[in-house]
Amino acid sequence: MDIEYLRTFCTTVELGSMAKAAVALGLTQPAVSHQIRSVELHLGARLLDRTPEGVVLTAFGQEAYRTFAAVLQGCAALHDTVARLRTQGAATLRIGATAFPGGYVVPLAVRPFTVRHPEVRLALRVGSAAQLLGELREGRLDLLVAEGMTVDAEVTAQTLVHEEAVVVAAPGGDPAPEQEPLSLRAFCRLPHVLCSEGGTTERLFGLLASRQLEPGELAVAAHVDDLEAAKSLVAEGLGVGLFPLRAVRAELATERLRTVDVLGLDLRVPLVQLTPRHRPVAPQVTAFAQYLQRVLRGGGQAPEGRPVAPAPRYAGVPG
């Protein structure tokens, strides 16, 4: 059985609801249901009874929960032990980042940090929010930088900055008219390229709901997981996109993309840093977080005063 499926089962039991577990884990409710069903099929027993009020453990489920919780605790303890043994040699800073901060924010602090701290080996993983959050809880990451997400009692979150989000389209009048502000409803009727990874799309849905507009009113031309792929589809004219301004500055400067003015659309997405709540924060984690905060406050300046350009794609830091 996949250990993440066990985590999903235990989280569902502890929160009493598949819907609440989906929010806490960054998954969809069907994905939570599928994972729990897979565990039940593997064991050949029903573990949860679904009721209108939530979920209730069966007799088999009570035993399964005790066993799975012990397995997860043992895995966390093992990762702690391995991490402690690794730090007895050269210090390693393991950073996780979702697509937007991994490509356009975290790299700003990498060079000045490594110049000042050559004794620290820095490793960066860019991936999905749910996967990286699981690795942070298990001790395989020291720090996670992500767009705003729902976290639980195992994680401490601190907001670094609120990133401005802008609507962009390909040059020319399609699919959005130029120099003509759009109403929010007219904006919804345009074809959209949505990026699943990150909090910008979630913030958009929240804004629409606050204006009595349903997410289903959004005309979706494509729904992709990769930020760069989403930008490319917009640049090819497939639809409009909503992205953090920092992620499209280069395309706006070269006129590969243009902004679209939408009345009443003022979105700012929180960028947060997350650390495990129940483990001590290593000095190198605190030092890197300080560099990151200073760079963000300086608008892209390294702490030494030298500008650092973000890489268009960033997969990791060698070392």
Q: Is the pLDDT of residue 92 over 90?
A: no
Domain 89-144+277-297 of CATH type 3.40.190.10: yes
Are 200 and 271 contacting, i.e. CB atoms less than 8 angstroms apart? no
- For 296, half-sphere exposure in the C-beta direction (CA atoms, 13 angstrom radius) is 22
Domain 3-84 of CATH type 3.40.1260.20: no
Q: What is the DSSP letter of 311?
A: P
Q: Is the pLDDT of residue 236 over 50?
A: yes
Residue with tokens 């904006």: 187
Which residue blocks in 180-300 are alpha helix, DSSP H?
Answer: 184-189, 200-210, 227-235, 245-253, 283-297
Percent of the chain with pLDDT over 70: 89
Percent of the chain with pLDDT over 90: 40
| Distance between start and end Cα atoms, the chain | 33
| pLDDT higher at 314 or 126 | 126
Alpha-carbon gap, residue 143 to 118, rounded angstroms: 19
Per-residue pLDDT of 271-300, as tens digits, reads: 889 998 888 888 888 889 888 888 887 754
Domain(s) labelled CATH 3.40.190.10 in the chain stretch across: 89-144+277-297, 162-269
Q: Is the pLDDT of residue 317 over 60?
A: no
pLDDT number for residue 307: 37
Per-residue pLDDT of 6-29, as tens digits, reads: 999 999 999 999 999 999 888 898
Average pLDDT value over all residues in the chain = 84
CB environment 21-53: b (16+ within 10 A), e (fewer): bbebbbbeeebbbebbeebbeeeeeebbeeeee
pLDDT category of residue 158 using cuts at 50, 70 and 90: confident
Domain(s) labelled CATH 1.10.10.10 in the chain stretch across: 3-84
CATH architecture of 162-269: 3-Layer(aba) Sandwich (3.40)
CA 196 to chain centre: 10
Q: Is the pLDDT of residue 252 over 50?
A: yes
- For 127, the token pair is 């991936």
Q: Is 70 exposed, middle or buried (0-12, 13-18, 19+ CB in 10 A)?
A: exposed
pLDDT number for residue 311: 34
Q: Is the pLDDT of residue 238 over 50?
A: yes
> Quick one: which of 7, 27, 18 has its CA closest to 56?
18
Q: Is the pLDDT of residue 318 over 80?
A: no
Q: Rounded mean pLDDT of 198-217?
A: 82
CB environment 272-295: b (16+ within 10 A), e (fewer): bbbbbeebeebebbeebbebbbeb
- For 241, half-sphere exposure in the C-beta direction (CA atoms, 13 angstrom radius) is 32
